[in-house]
Structure 1
Amino acid sequence: MTKMKGGEFIVDYLIEQKVPYVFGICGHGNVGILDALHARKDEIKLVSPRHEQCAGHMADGYFRVKHAPVATLTSTGPGSANMVMPLVTALSDSSAFLAITANVPTSQANRAPFQELYKHNQADFAQVLRPVVKRSFQPSRVDMLPLAMRQAFDTMVTGRPGPVNLDVPYNVFQEEGEIEMPPRGHVMGAHRPAVSDADLDAALDMIASARRPVFFIGQGTTLSEAGPELTELQARLGIPVITSPNGMGCVPADDPLTLGFIGRNGAYPANQAGRHADLVICVGTRFDDRSSSTWHQGYSWNFPATRLLQVDIDPAELGRNYAPSLGLIADAKTFCRQLLGSLERRKDIRHGNFQEWRSEIAGWREEWRKFVEPNFNAITTPIRPEYVVGTLQKTLPDDVILTLDSGVHHNWFMQFWEPKRPASMLNSWGYSSMGFGVCSVLGAQLAAPERPCVAVIGDGGFMMAPYVVATAVEYELPCVWIIWNNFAWGAIRDLQYGLFDGREIGTGFYKGAQGPGGERYNPDFAVWARACGADGYTVTRSEDLAAVVEQAVRNRRPCVIDVHIDSDVRPISTGTWQLPPIPYTEPAFGKPWKA
């Protein structure tokens, strides 16, 4: 037993868990732990961005790259309230970090001191975070900290990962107690549940009887690091793979059986394969509205005519939207290893079983290539979206980590980007939070300091968190922000064009709020970057883009590249998406098909 302050114990346990960073903003409510961080600053580093939301997105980005959680630190009241957005973003995408929030001293609880939330219960901030974290702990004494900290780390990474909140009254940081350091908490991958022999045989029987099977993989596959096993399954069996955005990179992007994303803005071959498959092997992903064409039969999937083999570590996801023919609770990597280990004894499952199916898919790929290829080489001013995606694909190194915001640019990257490595395309998918791509690139860079980290974000999203450039300069992080500048909330404006007969309001950026037809307006983002001490470029011509991007990556300095995009070119819908009760639209390329 050692006598120490609560703040000292928290810092010591973070170091024991090999947490290298705390991303946080100071405040009166957490100043009691800052001295403990100062004392151990050679072992754990406090990184202080200019906004709490950024700290959370940074921690989220760090985990997605490293698969190990770090911590955030915020003060009482408004500072911690700013963590709601990054916490729900992480929860929605199965990402984990420890959000340490401060609260009022226990001696002042329920007396309405400065920044106490007390309407229903004293120091009630933990209830604010309850819907957006996997678990919230509120130790009110120093001797409660060891159990809370160990359970917090176990909870974050056991089963389906998720963020956890540790809500600490101010006095607990400074009060002393006799504390024994508990054992280290779990790490990612410590628990990998497998399926039973009987369930494995049932799964193998389904594959053996299929003639048009597909894999559908997502974030669970990425977090389980099941890419090598899935790549081997894809090669040995010749079964095509459809990916959610968070599953991209797990299998080789240049393999003709890697079909990309599915849904309204998915790739045409992926939607065709989903429509015509007789078996979908879903491993570690969800059938949300965007990856299922809002569950309209025949547009992306054909359930219940198609059989579904669904594997997930979270039992709550089994059958959420489609009833599986067989639902299995298992770790993605473990399940894929089990399949691989069974192939030698299952002579009825062979690469040749699906030759005709692969030929059909090759035909769909060729149709899609002929349709989209010309625009990837079109030299225009302003620049076509396809040209930007294609140029970045050719220009950025294979080990780049790309972070993406919510917006119309994300639709283009979901449809055409081909990441070369797992966990190298970071998306705010489930909650689609603007600001995620802008901020998470900082956390990704700290997780992988040797790799280039590039954020592709909309002009609207960048304006929500432009201070990130100052943070990158302050901490010498060589991040690059490529701003998809179409002078609008482009994705929503496109909905107005497509669903409301072009009645645009509140979606374009105009000087003097003149509205459509007026003078478009945005700040000069390149000047903004240079004012922060970073590099800044503006690109309006297609011919200039590659050289500017190459220079930015080579310089290894914070950089903003303002790219002016043709706002009249819209993503190609190959499925559909509905906002009920507004009628859904038909695909622009391809047709629905029902078995």
Structure 2
Amino acid sequence: MTNPIKVAADAVIHFLHNMGVNTFHNYPGGTIAPLLDACPQFDINVITSRHEQGAGYAALAQAKLTGLPGIVGVTSGPGVTNILTPVADAYFDSIPLLIFTGQVGTGDINRYQGIRQRGFQEVDTPLLMQAVTKAQFQPKSVSELIEILPQAWNIAIEGRKGPVSIDLPMDVQRSPYQQTITPKAAPAQLVNNSELTEFTQSLMTQVAQAKKPVIICGNGMANKELAVVLNKILARWPAAVSHSLLGIGVLDSHSPLALGFHGHTGSQVAGYAINEADLVLVLGSRLDVRQTGTLVDTFAPNAQLYRVDFDSDELTHARIKNDKQLNLALELFLPHFCQQIEALATPINLADWHQQIASLKSQFSWPYPAYPGISPVKVIETLSAQMPENTICVTGVGAHQHWVARHFRFALPNRQFFTSAGHGAMGYDLPTAIGAAMHSPESEVLCIVGDGSFQMNIQELGVITEYGLKVKIVVLDNHRLGLVSQFQLMNWDTDVACGKKHTPDFCMIAKGYGLSAQHCDDPSQLASAIEQFVQTDNAALLHIEIDNRHDVLPMLLGGQTTDKMWPYYDMQGNKLEHNDE
């Protein structure tokens, strides 16, 4: 058989094929063409989005669902600058990506004093990528390329996962090369058994004594295997469980032990429970300002705080004082801890704590004022009840994101929540949902968006019909950039940039792209509209208009402790005065 590897670009794609990759997301251009040309030779599907952001976000879903790095390729210059937003998303939310960027030939890369650009569409890609990737490479020869490619793969997936950029000059891609690029085994993490034993023994002492324990599950816990282990632990030590935004679903949202997610727009029940807790075990969570509020000295004030995280920098530079910390992967710590819990003679009785939590849930209902028309919470709860168990729910960024996080039921391994957390990027929604439909065809993919976030990458609707994907899209339209509008009104009494937005006919746009679509603004028709939407056996869009006064309430503001979130309005919709004291 003739060797299909003729140039370096062929060898790159052959390497990806051997590593288990079957899809190359891209937006094309001249300097990435050699890689695209090589894909069919090695049975790698080429998926072309409508914009570089669309390709990047689809690759992000690829990584989350396959367990391998997502793969995306773009051309030089504007291709690079357009891909930066999804790359930043991957970096801040710890998602492994390999970003292949085309580049001008090596002879034009070198800059000279006073010359801004030597080659057409040339930008300094490694410099631009430096702040939002784990590593950046720009091989100037084939020998450099075959050395760095396996290294880049390992960097993306080892430790705290993240994106790695590989900037490929055209002459390097097209250089003759006929060999296979050999993978290199990633180094295994070394376990300090004495530290693990000391930490776990100390934690078990606290477990035996604690009357009001809380486990905080962060993004590091958001995988199916760890969710299974957590449930085994809870069977013997039924601590209450709170989540970061990306940790939602590690425990079934409907579990009696579930507190919801805590922090800026989270659950007041979770905030109270953390404030009351005498032991807090933090698993794979950064405890950033949106989780803890600004008063770091008063977060979990009555608790011993134990923390496990793979990223040593997060522990070294923690915002919250840790009483005990362990720098170790949760995949190594949690089974060990589970063994200690299961070795207990009897399950730990926390009935009094459970009763207090049930009382908190009864006491702190969501303080949403009643406005005319359709309630966004009703929309979310109805969708949650009617969508099947194997639903991946993807949101954009805005008020709708937080309503979904609060009111949609999530439960790994089946019901998964995809959203942009650390970067908070509008436009994440539709292209990530498209990637989810491609890489998990057995799942139902529901994309819930706001009118603002949806219009950031609305052009990706064309990808749905081109590839025959079944993506269900709900547009919650309040004619307002809701969350920022709410912030502006709370602080300055004006929302000149965010309020009273004209929105297009989303149904007409969807139909223009070949999707079925319907509109609803009448509460009496909501149930039938959602039922028809859910039962549609193809891609569909449901455009729901809601009153523009609906806000995300309550909210943890600056100067507040987690047990004193400010509702902003009373139940009649009257604005409340805010006092930081």
Fold conserved between structures, TM > 0.5? yes
* Structure 1 contact 265–414 (Cα < 8 Å) conserved: no
Match of 2:381 among 386, 390, 393: 390
CA drift of 1:542 comes to: 2.5
- How much is the aligned-residue C-alpha RMSD, in angstroms? 2.6
- Partner SS, residue 506 of structure 1: coil
Q: Match for residue 102 of structure 2?
A: 102
Q: Match for residue 398 of structure 2?
A: 407
Match of 1:436 among 412, 428, 436: 428
* Structure 2 contact 216–280 (Cα < 8 Å) conserved: yes
Note if 1:365 corresponds to 2:361. yes
CA drift of 1:574 comes to: 5.4
Unpaired runs of 5+ residues, structure 2, are: 112-117, 571-581
Q: Match for residue 15 of structure 2?
A: 13
- Output aligned runs, 1:166-181, within 5 Å: 166-177=166-177, 179-181=179-181
Note if 1:465 corresponds to 2:463. no
Aligned length: 556
- Output aligned runs, 1:371-382, within 5 Å: 382=373
Q: Match for residue 542 of structure 1?
A: 523
CA drift of 1:206 comes to: 2.4
Q: Match for residue 211 of structure 1?
A: 211
- Output aligned runs, 1:84-163, within 5 Å: 84-110=84-110, 112-117=118-123, 124-163=124-163
* Structure 1 contact 221–283 (Cα < 8 Å) conserved: yes
Deviates more, 1:190-199 or 1:128-137: 190-199
- Partner SS, residue 176 of structure 1: coil
Match of 1:494 among 475, 486, 498: 486
**For 2:57 and 2:500, how far apart are their aligned partners in 1?**
26
**For 2:468 and 2:49, how far apart are their aligned partners in 1?**
13
Q: Deviations over 1:237-296 (max 9, x none)?
A: 110100112111111222111111011321222111011111110001111111112345
Q: Deviations over 1:386-412 (max 9, x none)?
A: 111111111211211001111011121
**For 1:334 and 1:34, how far apart are their aligned partners in 2?**
39
Deviates more, 1:137-146 or 1:52-61: 137-146
Note if 1:417 corresponds to 2:413. no
* Structure 1 contact 224–333 (Cα < 8 Å) conserved: no
- Partner SS, residue 289 of structure 2: coil
**For 1:236 and 1:3, how far apart are their aligned partners in 2?**
56
* Structure 1 contact 65–424 (Cα < 8 Å) conserved: no
* Structure 1 contact 231–250 (Cα < 8 Å) conserved: no
Instruction: Give 1:570's aligned amino acid.
Output: D
**For 1:192 and 1:471, how far apart are their aligned partners in 2?**
44
CA drift of 1:198 comes to: 2.0
**For 2:185 and 2:44, how far apart are their aligned partners in 1?**
18
Residues 201, 260 of structure 1: CA spacing in aligned structure 2 closer, same or farther, 3 A cutoff? same
Instruction: Give 1:436's aligned amino acid.
Output: Y
Match of 2:533 among 552, 561, 570: 552
Q: Match for residue 326 of structure 2?
A: 328
Q: Match for residue 503 of structure 2?
A: 522
Note if 1:312 corresponds to 2:309. yes
**For 1:137 and 1:266, how far apart are their aligned partners in 2?**
40
Q: Deviations over 1:536-571 (max 9, x none)?
A: 111112333343334334333222211112221222
**For 2:204 and 2:568, how far apart are their aligned partners in 1?**
37
**For 1:551 and 1:12, how far apart are their aligned partners in 2?**
45
Q: Deviations over 1:83-138 (max 9, x none)?
A: 11001111111111111011111122236010223xxxxxx311100110111111
**For 2:219 and 2:287, how far apart are their aligned partners in 1?**
12
Deviates more, 1:152-161 or 1:106-115: 106-115
CA drift of 1:140 comes to: 1.5
When normalised by structure 2's length, the TM-score is 0.90
- Partner SS, residue 49 of structure 2: coil
Identity %: 25
* Structure 2 contact 265–556 (Cα < 8 Å) conserved: yes
* Structure 2 contact 11–180 (Cα < 8 Å) conserved: no
* Structure 1 contact 271–574 (Cα < 8 Å) conserved: no
Q: Deviations over 1:409-448 (max 9, x none)?
A: 1121222222132471011011100011121001111121
**For 1:389 and 1:368, how far apart are their aligned partners in 2?**
19
Runs of 4+ in 1 over 4 A off after TM superposition: 184-187, 190-195, 344-347, 587-590
* Structure 1 contact 64–426 (Cα < 8 Å) conserved: no
Match of 2:351 among 337, 350, 355: 355
- Partner SS, residue 458 of structure 2: coil
Residues 390, 306 of structure 1: CA spacing in aligned structure 2 closer, same or farther, 3 A cutoff? same
**For 2:527 and 2:65, how far apart are their aligned partners in 1?**
26
**For 1:178 and 1:44, how far apart are their aligned partners in 2?**
19
- Partner SS, residue 55 of structure 2: helix
* Structure 2 contact 12–181 (Cα < 8 Å) conserved: no
CA drift of 1:317 comes to: 1.3
Q: Match for residue 57 of structure 1?
A: 57
Q: Deviations over 1:143-176 (max 9, x none)?
A: 2222211111111111111011111101111111
Note if 1:456 corresponds to 2:454. no
CA drift of 1:178 comes to: 5.0
- Partner SS, residue 246 of structure 2: helix
Note if 1:238 corresponds to 2:238. yes
CA drift of 1:302 comes to: 2.7
Q: Match for residue 575 of structure 1?
A: 556
* Structure 2 contact 15–180 (Cα < 8 Å) conserved: no
When normalised by structure 1's length, the TM-score is 0.88
**For 2:477 and 2:513, how far apart are their aligned partners in 1?**
20
Instruction: Give 2:310's aligned amino acid.
Output: I
**For 1:578 and 1:52, how far apart are their aligned partners in 2?**
40
- Partner SS, residue 177 of structure 2: strand
Note if 1:165 corresponds to 2:131. no
**For 2:389 and 2:5, how far apart are their aligned partners in 1?**
50
* Structure 1 contact 97–163 (Cα < 8 Å) conserved: yes
Residues 283, 572 of structure 1: CA spacing in aligned structure 2 closer, same or farther, 3 A cutoff? same
* Structure 1 contact 405–461 (Cα < 8 Å) conserved: yes
